[in-house]
Amino acid sequence: MAGYIYMHRKEKGEEVSGYVPWDDAKIHVLSHVIHYSSGVFEGIRGYLTRGGVAIFRGRDHYRRLVRSAKIYRMFPEHYAPRELRERGKVSQKDLVSHFMKLTKELIRKNDLCRKAKEVKDEGKMNNPFVYIRPVIYRGYDVKDDPILKPPLGVNPLGNPVEWFIATFLWDDYLGKEAIENGANVITSAWAKNSPSTTPFMAKGASNYATGQLAKMESVLSAFFKDYDVLERVKKGQPITKEDLFLAIESVQLTTSGYVAEGTGENIFVVMYENGDPGDPEDPKKVKIYTPPISASILPGITRDSIIRLAKDEGYEVIETMIPRELLYIADEVFFTGTAAEVTPISTVDGIPVGKGKPGRVTLHLRRLYTEIARGERPDKYGWVDFVEC
C-alpha cells in the first residue's frame, strides 16, 4: 500500500525515527498500550481548499495531546526527539511546532491533495478531508533475552514512550444524510465513567471503551415512527426503512443521569425564548446549553470553537448540567467534533427534536465554522494553518 506514517520508537534501547512505509508501520504485540490502554491521541481535520490543506486548530490539538500525555506521566523528556532534548528543557511550544512540521510534510508526502480530488471525482467519497491521527503511547523494548521477564505489568513506567503520526483521507463521519437531514440518536444504557475513575480532560484511549459499546448499541438500534408500525409488525405485515428511525449515534449520560456527550462528539441544546421560534437567529431570543467539563466530557476543540463563535454572534451560551429529558423538548440539538464538525440531531430515542429537521441556529453556526475552517471567511482567531500542495 502506498503512503507513509511517521514513527518515533525505541528498538534495543536506541531511538528510531522517520517516515515508515504504510505496511511497515508496526508495533510489538507486547506493547503496553495494547494490554492496558496506556495511550493518548488526537483527531485533527484538514480541509481541502484551492490553496492546499487548511489544518483546523492543529496547534491546539497538539497542545492537548501533550497535556493528555502529561496526565498519564508521559513527559516530553521521555519522547521528544533528540534534537529538542539537546537544547535543554523541552518546551511545549517547540514540541507542538515540531509535530506541526512533521504533519505538513506527511500530508505532502502522502499526496493527499491529489488523492482527495481523485476519489471525489470517481465518486468513492462524498466529502473527502484530510484526517490527522497522532498517538503517544507506551510501547515495548528489551535489550536482552525477551523471554526473561519482559516489561508487561500494570506499572507502565518501565516501558518506552513512543509516538506516531498518520495522515489519510476520511469522509463525513456521521454520513451525508445526517448533515443534510439531522442524525437519529439514542440515549445509551452505557454511562460515562465518573470523574474519579478516568481523567476525561485527557483524550485517553481508555476513555473510549464504553464509547465503543454505546456506538454499537446505537447502530444496531431502530425506533418505530408510530404505534401503527408496531401493530403491523405484530401482525407479520411488512415494513420499510421509512417506517423507522435508524439510529447512528448514542448520547451517553453521566453516572448521575445527566447528559454528557456522544461517543466521539460534544453536544449542544438550543432553546428559543418562551418556546416561540419567532426568529431564532436573533441572539436575544435564543439560549444555548452545553454540559460542563465536570460532566465527564472531553474539552473538545470544536466545542470551544462553537462556544466562541456563538458568543461572538451574541448568543448566550450556558455551561450547565443537562437532564436527559431536555433533549426531547429542545428546539434544536447538535453534535460538535473534529470528524462530525457541527451535525444537527433530528430525533432522540425516536422523539423528534423541534420540527425533526436541522434548525436555523445550528445551520448558522455550522456555516460560520466551516467557512472559517475552509478559508472562505477571514480567520480572526488564528485557527488555520495552510499546507501548500
Which residues are catalytically annotated?
203
First to last CA, the chain: 21
Q: How far is CA 352 from CA 186, 329, 359, in A?
A: 12, 9, 12
Q: 58-71 vs 92-109: helix axis angle to the nearest 10?
A: 120
Cell matching residue 277: 421560534
Please state the separation of Cα 55 from the chain's center in Å: 15
Which of 206, 228, 217, 234 is closest to 349 using CA atoms? 217
In DSSP terms, 5 is beta-bridged to 20
Instruction: Assign 81 to helix, strand or coil.
Output: coil
Q: 301-312 vs 360-373: helix axis angle to the nearest 10?
A: 110
Q: Could you tell me which residues come within 8 angstroms of residue 318 by beta carbon, excluding any fewer than 6 positions away? A: 287, 288, 289, 290
Strands 222-224 and 244-246: antiparallel
Q: From the CA atom positions of the chain, what is the Rg in Å?
A: 23
Question: What is the residue whose three cell numbers read 449542544?
Answer: 268
Please give the Cα distance from 94 to 81 (Å, whole number): 11
Cβ atoms of 47 and 375 closer than 8 Å:
yes
Quickly count helices (H) and strands (E) in the chain: 12, 19
Please give the Cα distance from 19 to 4 (Å, whole number): 6
Please give the Cα distance from 271 to 326 (Å, whole number): 9
Q: How far is CA 175 from CA 16, 242, 248, 301, in A?
A: 39, 17, 9, 21
